[in-house]
Copies of this chain bind each other. A is one copy, B any other.
Amino acid sequence: MFSPLLVLVQGSTPASIIGPMQPRHLAILGVGLLGGSIGLAVRSRLKGCKVAGYGHRAAALDVALQMGAIDERYEDPAQAVRGADFVILCTPVGRLASLLAEIAPVLSPGTIVTDVGSTKRAVVEAAEQSLPPGVHFVGSHPMAGSEKRGVEFARADLFDRAVCITTPTPHTDPQALTNVESFWQTLGMRTTRLDPVEHDRLLADVSHLPHAVAGALVAMQDDAALGLCGKGFLDMTRIAGGDPGLWRDILLENRQNVRASLKRLEGHLNELDGLLEHGTPDQLEAWLRGAAERREGLLLRRADS
């Protein structure tokens, strides 16, 4: 029987026995709020890991370099990934497919590629189609962020205690999946796995539709009403301040699910409208109580986790 050390030396061990590998040379493609925060977190938690950054705006790259979020700046994604063992795509989701096509020819076998997109079906499909054999893609959705935009708002602790969803498929390399999960855990995240199609369906309900509704709630107000808004309204519409270009991509890419979510929301609103029209006070209270208890349960569940 080999000892673990001997196994390691032999070089024939399943990687799961030697544990997850951490990146030594990371390429971050897109240095905005998320990309910049990943860079800062990696530089503080993964000492010795080189961080290359690509961005299409020279000014953002300069800021990222100055903040210490990246070690090297590139204005060409193919140059940025050269030599990297771990690549994270951090551009808006509408740019992911073309970015994969641009870097595919220069990635070495063994490289792990992941992303931070809020929709997953399309990027997983694009990666499985365009990346060469031996390059391992694992979809990721770190659920952290802000309605703020730009690398100047990046923070090393942005991911702390937040959830990262990974979206493996039957084609996903198990070791690459473990490595990607381990990476997010190093940044302070809890990880969970979902099928990419299921991910997009659930996120339409709990994230993409709410964003659209926040926008509609702001858009419908006249100035006099807005002048009276309280903390409740401000909290409720905070996410409407998010980057319009980023959200355009998310809503378009997930449009079928978002439209289905919208239809279901309208069903619930119509139910309420019916109660306002001809329901009893008790029925209306029961509707409100159901929502309040569900919200309460959500807080308790999160407090537990």
Q: Which of A17-25, A32-40, A49-57, A213-221 contacts B (4 or more CB under 8 A)?
A: A213-221
Given contacts A281-B252, A285-B248, contact A206 B219 (CB under 8 A): no
**Contact mask A216-230 → B, CB, 8 Å, 1/0?**
111111101111111
Instruction: Name the one of B203, B210, B224, B288 contacting A236, with C-beta atoms under 8 angstroms.
Output: B210
Cβ B230 vs Cβ A143 within 8 A? yes
Q: Which residues of A contact B (CB under 8 A)?
A: 94, 143-145, 162-163, 165, 192, 198, 202-203, 205-207, 209-222, 224-230, 232-245, 247-248, 251-252, 255, 258-259, 261-262, 264-269, 272-273, 276-277, 281, 284-292, 294-296, 298-299, 301-302
Cβ B285 vs Cβ A245 within 8 A? yes
Q: How far is the CA of A302 from the CA of B233 in the complex (A)?
A: 13
Instruction: Name the one of B145, B243, B298 contacting A229, with C-beta atoms under 8 angstroms.
Output: B298
Cβ A213 vs Cβ B218 within 8 A? no
Cβ B227 vs Cβ A251 within 8 A? no
Cβ B230 vs Cβ A264 within 8 A? no
Cβ B230 vs Cβ A291 within 8 A? no
Instruction: Name the one of B240, B251, B266 contacting A269, with C-beta atoms under 8 angstroms.
Output: B266
- Chain B residue nearest to A222 (CB atoms) is B205
Among A261, A285, A295, the most chain B Cβ lie within 10 Å of the Cβ of: A295
Cβ distance A175 to chain B, nearest Cβ, rounded Å = 26
Chain B residues with Cβ below 8 Å from A277 are: 255, 259
Cβ distance A11 to chain B, nearest Cβ, rounded Å = 40
Cβ distance A17 to chain B, nearest Cβ, rounded Å = 31
Cβ B238 vs Cβ A220 within 8 A? no
Cβ A255 vs Cβ B276 within 8 A? yes
Cβ A238 vs Cβ B232 within 8 A? yes
The 8 closest A-B pairs by CB, nearest first: A215-B291, A244-B288, A216-B268, A244-B289, A248-B285, A206-B225, A205-B225, A232-B239
Given contacts A143-B230, A228-B165, A251-B284, contact A264 B220 (CB under 8 A): yes
Q: How far is the CA of A302 from the CA of B229 in the complex (A)?
A: 9
Q: How far is the CA of A141 from the CA of B172 in the complex (A)?
A: 58
Chain B residues with Cβ below 8 Å from A242 are: 288, 292
Cβ B252 vs Cβ A216 within 8 A? no
Cβ A210 vs Cβ B206 within 8 A? no
Instruction: Name the one of B206, B244, B248 contacting A228, with C-beta atoms under 8 angstroms.
Output: B206
Cβ distance A119 to chain B, nearest Cβ, rounded Å = 13
Chain B residues with Cβ below 8 Å from A251 are: 276, 284, 288
Given contacts A236-B210, A252-B276, A273-B262, contact A205 B230 (CB under 8 A): no
